[in-house]
Amino acid sequence: MSQPARPAPWPGPALIPAAPHSAAPRTATLRLPGSNEGCALAREFTDRILGEWQLDECRDDALTVVSELAANAVLHGRKSDTPDDADPDVWLRLTRRAAHLVCAVTDQGAGLPRAAHAPDTFSEHGRGLLIVEALSQHWGWTRHTPSRKTVWAMLPTGGA
Protein backbone atom coordinates (compact mmCIF):
# COMPACT_ATOMS: atom_id res chain seq x y z
CA MET A 1 0.00 0.00 0.00
CA SER A 2 1.25 3.49 -0.78
CA GLN A 3 2.32 5.50 2.21
CA PRO A 4 -0.13 8.37 2.67
CA ALA A 5 1.42 11.80 2.30
CA ARG A 6 0.60 14.32 4.98
CA PRO A 7 -1.39 17.02 3.19
CA ALA A 8 -1.97 20.44 4.65
CA PRO A 9 -4.97 20.55 7.00
CA TRP A 10 -8.21 20.49 5.06
CA PRO A 11 -10.29 23.59 5.87
CA GLY A 12 -13.43 21.59 5.22
CA PRO A 13 -15.75 21.40 2.24
CA ALA A 14 -17.23 24.62 0.96
CA LEU A 15 -18.94 25.78 -2.15
CA ILE A 16 -16.48 27.57 -4.39
CA PRO A 17 -17.91 30.37 -6.53
CA ALA A 18 -17.35 30.05 -10.24
CA ALA A 19 -14.28 31.88 -11.48
CA PRO A 20 -14.17 33.80 -14.75
CA HIS A 21 -13.47 31.53 -17.72
CA SER A 22 -10.02 33.05 -18.22
CA ALA A 23 -8.90 32.04 -14.71
CA ALA A 24 -9.27 28.28 -14.25
CA PRO A 25 -10.40 27.41 -10.73
CA ARG A 26 -7.99 25.40 -8.60
CA THR A 27 -10.64 23.73 -6.42
CA ALA A 28 -14.13 22.44 -7.09
CA THR A 29 -16.46 21.02 -4.43
CA LEU A 30 -19.79 19.19 -4.57
CA ARG A 31 -22.12 17.82 -1.87
CA LEU A 32 -23.23 14.31 -2.79
CA PRO A 33 -26.51 12.61 -1.92
CA GLY A 34 -26.03 9.47 0.12
CA SER A 35 -27.28 7.11 -2.56
CA ASN A 36 -26.13 5.50 -5.80
CA GLU A 37 -27.18 8.76 -7.44
CA GLY A 38 -24.34 10.41 -5.51
CA CYS A 39 -21.80 8.19 -7.26
CA ALA A 40 -23.20 9.09 -10.68
CA LEU A 41 -23.21 12.81 -9.81
CA ALA A 42 -19.60 12.54 -8.60
CA ARG A 43 -18.55 11.05 -11.95
CA GLU A 44 -20.46 13.67 -13.98
CA PHE A 45 -19.04 16.51 -11.87
CA THR A 46 -15.48 15.15 -12.15
CA ASP A 47 -15.81 14.69 -15.91
CA ARG A 48 -17.06 18.26 -16.36
CA ILE A 49 -14.42 19.83 -14.09
CA LEU A 50 -11.53 17.91 -15.69
CA GLY A 51 -12.78 19.06 -19.10
CA GLU A 52 -12.77 22.68 -17.90
CA TRP A 53 -9.29 22.23 -16.44
CA GLN A 54 -8.09 20.45 -19.61
CA LEU A 55 -6.88 17.43 -17.67
CA ASP A 56 -7.77 14.79 -20.23
CA GLU A 57 -4.61 12.78 -19.50
CA CYS A 58 -5.87 11.70 -16.06
CA ARG A 59 -9.62 11.69 -16.77
CA ASP A 60 -10.19 7.91 -16.91
CA ASP A 61 -8.19 7.23 -13.75
CA ALA A 62 -9.82 10.16 -11.93
CA LEU A 63 -13.33 9.00 -12.85
CA THR A 64 -12.57 5.52 -11.54
CA VAL A 65 -10.95 6.81 -8.33
CA VAL A 66 -13.80 9.24 -7.64
CA SER A 67 -16.34 6.47 -8.27
CA GLU A 68 -14.64 4.18 -5.77
CA LEU A 69 -14.18 6.87 -3.11
CA ALA A 70 -17.77 8.09 -3.48
CA ALA A 71 -19.15 4.54 -3.36
CA ASN A 72 -17.20 3.82 -0.17
CA ALA A 73 -18.42 7.04 1.41
CA VAL A 74 -22.04 6.32 0.53
CA LEU A 75 -21.74 2.72 1.75
CA HIS A 76 -19.64 3.30 4.89
CA GLY A 77 -19.90 7.04 5.55
CA ARG A 78 -22.96 7.15 7.76
CA LYS A 79 -22.88 8.45 11.33
CA SER A 80 -24.49 5.18 12.39
CA ASP A 81 -25.59 1.90 10.87
CA THR A 82 -29.27 2.71 11.26
CA PRO A 83 -31.48 3.31 8.23
CA ASP A 84 -32.60 6.60 9.86
CA ASP A 85 -29.28 8.09 8.75
CA ALA A 86 -30.41 7.88 5.14
CA ASP A 87 -28.69 11.08 3.95
CA PRO A 88 -25.06 11.08 5.09
CA ASP A 89 -23.05 14.26 4.74
CA VAL A 90 -20.68 13.41 1.85
CA TRP A 91 -18.53 15.93 -0.03
CA LEU A 92 -16.32 15.56 -3.10
CA ARG A 93 -13.44 17.98 -3.52
CA LEU A 94 -11.15 18.15 -6.57
CA THR A 95 -7.98 20.18 -6.23
CA ARG A 96 -5.69 20.91 -9.14
CA ARG A 97 -2.06 21.33 -8.17
CA ALA A 98 0.92 21.94 -10.44
CA ALA A 99 1.61 18.26 -11.17
CA HIS A 100 -1.27 16.48 -9.40
CA LEU A 101 -5.00 16.22 -9.17
CA VAL A 102 -6.22 15.50 -5.64
CA CYS A 103 -9.56 13.71 -5.43
CA ALA A 104 -10.93 13.78 -1.88
CA VAL A 105 -14.20 12.55 -0.40
CA THR A 106 -15.28 13.53 3.11
CA ASP A 107 -17.90 11.58 5.05
CA GLN A 108 -19.15 11.18 8.61
CA GLY A 109 -18.39 7.50 9.04
CA ALA A 110 -16.45 6.48 12.14
CA GLY A 111 -14.71 3.57 10.43
CA LEU A 112 -11.27 4.05 8.95
CA PRO A 113 -10.54 3.02 5.36
CA ARG A 114 -8.38 -0.01 4.79
CA ALA A 115 -7.41 -1.78 1.63
CA ALA A 116 -8.31 -5.40 2.12
CA HIS A 117 -6.30 -8.28 0.81
CA ALA A 118 -7.45 -9.57 -2.54
CA PRO A 119 -11.13 -10.40 -2.09
CA ASP A 120 -12.70 -13.70 -2.92
CA THR A 121 -13.05 -14.12 -6.69
CA PHE A 122 -16.84 -13.97 -6.48
CA SER A 123 -17.11 -11.22 -3.86
CA GLU A 124 -19.05 -8.12 -4.92
CA HIS A 125 -17.16 -5.82 -2.53
CA GLY A 126 -13.63 -5.25 -1.31
CA ARG A 127 -11.76 -4.06 -4.41
CA GLY A 128 -12.36 -0.30 -4.24
CA LEU A 129 -9.31 0.83 -2.29
CA LEU A 130 -7.13 -1.68 -4.12
CA ILE A 131 -8.19 0.03 -7.35
CA VAL A 132 -7.55 3.49 -5.84
CA GLU A 133 -4.10 2.34 -4.74
CA ALA A 134 -3.29 0.95 -8.19
CA LEU A 135 -4.35 4.11 -10.05
CA SER A 136 -3.01 6.81 -7.73
CA GLN A 137 0.49 7.98 -7.01
CA HIS A 138 -0.40 8.36 -3.31
CA TRP A 139 -3.58 7.87 -1.33
CA GLY A 140 -4.54 8.07 2.28
CA TRP A 141 -7.00 9.46 4.75
CA THR A 142 -7.21 12.32 7.22
CA ARG A 143 -9.27 12.08 10.41
CA HIS A 144 -10.97 15.36 11.36
CA THR A 145 -13.11 14.26 14.31
CA PRO A 146 -14.03 10.85 15.67
CA SER A 147 -16.88 10.75 13.18
CA ARG A 148 -15.53 12.69 10.19
CA LYS A 149 -12.76 11.76 7.77
CA THR A 150 -11.48 12.50 4.28
CA VAL A 151 -10.14 9.80 1.98
CA TRP A 152 -7.98 11.24 -0.80
CA ALA A 153 -5.92 10.16 -3.78
CA MET A 154 -3.27 12.04 -5.78
CA LEU A 155 -3.12 11.45 -9.52
CA PRO A 156 -0.29 12.75 -11.72
CA THR A 157 -1.42 15.28 -14.32
CA GLY A 158 1.73 15.48 -16.38
CA GLY A 159 2.13 19.15 -15.45
CA ALA A 160 5.35 20.65 -14.18
Model pTM above 0.85: no
Question: Which amino acid is located at 78 in the chain?
Answer: R
Q: What is the pLDDT of residues 92-107, one digit of tens each?
A: 999 999 889 999 999 8
In a domain, 77, yes or no: yes
Specify the DSSP class assigned to residue 107: E
In a domain, 8, yes or no: no
- Section 129-133 average pLDDT: 87
In a domain, 59, yes or no: yes
Which residues sit opposite 100 in a β-bridge? 156
In a domain, 152, yes or no: yes
User: What does the CA dihedral 135, 138, 143, 148 come to, rounded to 10 degrees?
Assistant: -20
Residues whose CB is less than 8 angstroms from the CB of residue 2 and which lie 6 or more positions away in sequence, other chains included: 133, 136, 137, 138, 139, 140
In a domain, 22, yes or no: no
In a domain, 84, yes or no: yes
In a domain, 3, yes or no: no
Q: What is the CATH number of the domain that holds 54?
A: 3.30.565.10
How many structural domains is the chain composed of?
1
Specify the DSSP class assigned to residue 93: E
In a domain, 148, yes or no: yes
The predicted structure's pLDDT at residue 5: 47
Q: List the domain range (segments joined by +) for residue 116.
A: 28-156
The predicted structure's pLDDT at residue 1: 44
